[in-house]
Amino acid sequence: MIELSAKQLADAIARGDVSAAEAFETYRARAAADELNAYTWVAPEGTTAAPMSADAPLRGVPLGVKDLFCTEGVPSQAGSRILEGYLPPYTASVVQRLAEAGAPLLAKTNQDEFAMGSSNENSAYGPTRNPWDRERIPGGSSGGSAAAVAAGSAPWALGTDTGGSIRQPAAMCGIVGLKPTYGSVSRYGMIAFASSLDQGGPLTRDVTDAALLYGQMIGQDPCDSTSLAHPETIALPTAERLDGIRIGVPRADLAADGIEPGVIAAFDATLQRAQELGAELVDIELPHAEHALAAYYVIAPAEASSNLSRFDGVRYGLRHGGDEGLMAMYTHTRHDGFGDEVKRRILIGTYALSSGYYDAYYGRAQQVRTKIADDFRAAFGRVDLIATPTAPTTAFKLGEKTADPLSMYLGDLFTIPYSLAGLPAISIPCGLSDGLPVGFQLGGPAFSENRILDAAHALEQAIGFEPLEIS
C-alpha cells in the first residue's frame, strides 16, 4: 500500500481493493513509529477515518497537516513553546475542505517556529531529519511535511509557503511541492506569519497527487477576505510533451555566488530534457530579483511583528510572570515562549515599522516588491513559464548554518521572488548531487497552475527520478 501514490491509493479504495480504514491504520502506525521527528501529534491508536460520501474525490487517503493549521481539539502549536498544548476551538478552512473531500487528519507535522526558517531547526519540538541522510536538514519551514511524504509515513501533506517553505523542503527531500497563487487557498485558521505572503499548498510524491490535492483546496472563503475564486478547475495533468511552450531562463540570476555546481548540472540537464520535449528556451532578465531577498526580510518580519503581538499570555497559550503585573507577564511570556529566530524577526520588523524608519525600510521594500512584480509581468509577456533551480544547494548538515542566519536566508534565493509577486511555482525533483535530491522550479503567471502542473508532469515523466526507497 505504501508504494502507491495518493491517487493510486484513492483508486484502490474506490475499487474496493483496500478499505479507507485499512489505509488510515497503515499510515497511522507508520507515523506513530516515525524516527525523523516529522510529527508533533499523531492520531491515537483506535482512531478511525470519519464517514464520507461515496463520491468523495479523495476517497479516504490520510493527510498530514503542518502544525501551522488550526485543527479543532488537536494540538496546533506552530512549532512554538508559546502555543504548547493549544487546542483550537475550530478547524482551518482548507483542512475542513479536505476532510469533507475524503482526506482524514492523520497527523500534525513538525515545522520551524511560526514558519520562520529554512531548515526545520527552529522548531521548539526539535529538528526534523532528512530521510535521505539523517544527519541533514529536510528544509523548512514545512520540513516535517516534506520528510513525512518522502519517508512514506504520509501519502501526502499540507504545508505553507511564505518565502519558499513548501518548495525548498520539497527540493531537499526529493518530492513535489506547489506554492499556489496568493489568495487561491483560504488562510482562515492558518496561524499567521506574514499575511500578504502566506499561502497553503500540497507536498506530494508526484505532480498528479499535487494536482488532485490542490484541486480540493481552492475556492473563495467568506472567512478570508483575501481569498479568490480560481478561474479554472484544476485538472489532473496529462501532458507528455512541451511543444509550443516557451520557458524563460534568467541566466544572470544563475551566476550568483553560492550555487553548488551539482545543482547547476542537474538544472542544465533538465533544461536539455525540456528542449527534447519540444520546449523553446528563452533567455530573460528579472532585473530586480537580486533585491528580492533584502525586500523580503523587511516585509515579512514587519508583518510578523504585528501578527505575533497577539501572543502575550492573556488569552491562550503560555503565561509566565502573571503574578508580577501586566508588563512583567508580557515580558516573561514572550521571552520564554519565542525562540531566537522568531525574536530576531520581531525585532527587525518592529524596527522597520518604527517612527522615522518606516519609509526608509518598509516603504522602500514595498516599492521593490512592485518592481519585482513588474519584472515578472514583462517576462510573461514573452514566455509561458520561468525555470530556475528551487534552491542553490542540496540539504546541508544539521547545525551547519544555525550560527549564520544570512547564509540560511540565502537558501530562499530563487523562491522568494514568486512569493513577493504572489505568483504560483512548483518544485519537482530533477536529479541527485552527491546522492542528495535537487529541485527544479517552474513558475508562471497568476492562476496558471494548470499550465505549470502539465509542464511539470511532462518533465517528471521524462526525468524518471527515482524516489527514496520506502521500507
Q: Which of 180, 66, 201 is nearest to 120 (CA)?
A: 66
Could you tell me which of 397, 392, 393, 390 has the C-alpha nearest to residue 429?
390
Bond into 141 cis (ω within 30): yes
Which residue shows C-alpha cell 514587519? 302
Q: By three-state DSSP, how is residue 278 classified?
A: coil
User: How many beta carbons lie within 10 A of that of residue 73, not counting itself?
Assistant: 10
Give me the active site residues, please.
Answer: 66, 141, 165
Residue 318's closest CA among 301, 303, 338, 304? 338
With contact defined as beta carbons under 8 Å apart, do 337 and 82 qualify? yes
Cα–Cα distance measured from residue 147 to residue 203, given in angstroms and rounded to the nearest whole number: 10
E-strand spans in 132-289? 156-161, 176-179, 199-204, 246-249, 280-283
Residue that is written with C-alpha cell 512514506 in the block = 152
Cβ–Cβ < 8 Å for 218, 184: yes
Q: Which three cell numbers stand for residue 246?
A: 516557451
Whether the Cβ atoms of residue 3 and residue 27 lie closer than 8 Å to each other:
no
Determine the Cα–Cα distance for residues 427 and 104; give it in Å rounded to an integer: 25
Give the whole-angstrom CA distance, residue 112 versus residue 300.
15
CA distances (Å), origin 107, targets 65, 111, 215, 282, 304: 6, 13, 21, 43, 26
End-to-end CA distance of the chain: 11
User: If you write DSSP's letter for every residue of 354-379 in order, what string do you get?
Assistant: STTTIIIIIIHHHHHHHHHHHHHHHH
